């Protein structure tokens, strides 16, 4: 009988066309499935808690798959990491789970981090890992405006045109903005998100930080239910999937 495995994965999204397996380029899912095939000589589908876009990173993406080959958690982690080389993907943890666990369908919440480096100088170490914004940003004003988006709303104004979600209505539990030195950190948390929702929200509240918009402008954009009413789509560079929540974990 096959064993269901849960793995926690970090990756640098720059070399990949996102999480989902692609015919035209490398994907995180494809690399993981190939690593399983090399380790166990089994063809599996690796399901993720969320599907990241091209260039988006992960600190702790959760994925699951079934494996017939007997193995310990340590062996699964070490074998996958061996066969993932030289891809910038690391399995940081492997756990044997009951058969009803599913990385996506069992997930009750997802959290993202968006990093902005706010300075005039170019990025030497964080190029491709953060959004460089040269104009001064008021993180306090950004946080205040972000609170206008908390709760259950029709997020059509922050939804990508190719989004496949059946409904634009989502419940946003957290959208917080803090500054540590030159870095402005935005944390978004919800049960699920629309395609590009986080990046579109970031691009919108960034305009508040620049003094171009007010919190009332953010509310007006939300209520317009029109993508053209909101701000730009922030680059993928600064976005990180940080946590998948499951039953039994604290989730507000």
**One-character DSSP codes across 134-188:** -S---HHHHHHHHGGG-EEEE-GGGS-TT---S-SEEEEEEEEEEEETTEEEEEE
Q: Which of 12, 23, 53, 216 is catalytic?
A: 53
Residue 186: CA count within 13 A, CB half-sphere? 33
Gap between the Cα atoms of 2 and 31, Å rounded: 21
- Cβ(73)–Cβ(4) below 8 Å: no
Q: Is there a catalytic annotation at residue 126? A: no
* Length, in residues, of the chain: 252
- In sequence order, what are the residues at sequence separation of 6 or more whose Cβ sits closer than 8 angstroms to the Cβ of residue 243? 59, 60, 109, 110, 111
DSSP label of 196: T
Residue for token digits 């996506």? 104
Residues with a known catalytic role: 53
């Amino acid at each position: 009988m096959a064993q269901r495995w849960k793995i926690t994965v970090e990756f640098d999204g720059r070399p990949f066309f996102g999480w989902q397996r692609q015919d035209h380029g490398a994907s995180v899912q494809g690399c993981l499935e190939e690593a399983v095939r090399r380790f166990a000589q089994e063809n599996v589908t690796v399901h993720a808690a969320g599907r990241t876009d091209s260039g988006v990173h992960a600190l702790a993406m959760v994925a699951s798959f079934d494996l017939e080959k007997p193995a310990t958690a340590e062996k699964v982690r070490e074998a996958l990491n061996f066969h993932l080389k030289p891809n910038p993907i690391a399995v940081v943890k492997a756990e044997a789970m009951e058969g009803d666990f599913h990385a996506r369908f069992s997930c009750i919440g997802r959290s993202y981090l968006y990093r902005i480096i706010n300075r005039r100088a170019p990025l030497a170490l964080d190029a491709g890992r953060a959004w460089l914004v040269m104009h001064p940003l008021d993180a306090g004003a950004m946080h205040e405006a972000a609170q206008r988006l908390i709760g259950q709303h029709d997020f059509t104004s922050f939804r990508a045109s190719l989004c496949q979600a059946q409904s634009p209505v989502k419940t946003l539990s957290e959208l917080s903005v803090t500054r540590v030195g030159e870095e402005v950190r935005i944390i978004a948390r919800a049960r699920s998100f629309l395609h590009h929702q986080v990046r579109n929200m970031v691009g919108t509240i960034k305009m508040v930080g620049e003094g171009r918009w007010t919190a009332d402008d953010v509310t007006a954009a939300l209520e317009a239910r029109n993508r053209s009413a909101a701000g730009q789509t922030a680059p993928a560079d600064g976005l990180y999937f940080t946590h998948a929540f499951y039953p039994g974990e604290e989730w507000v």
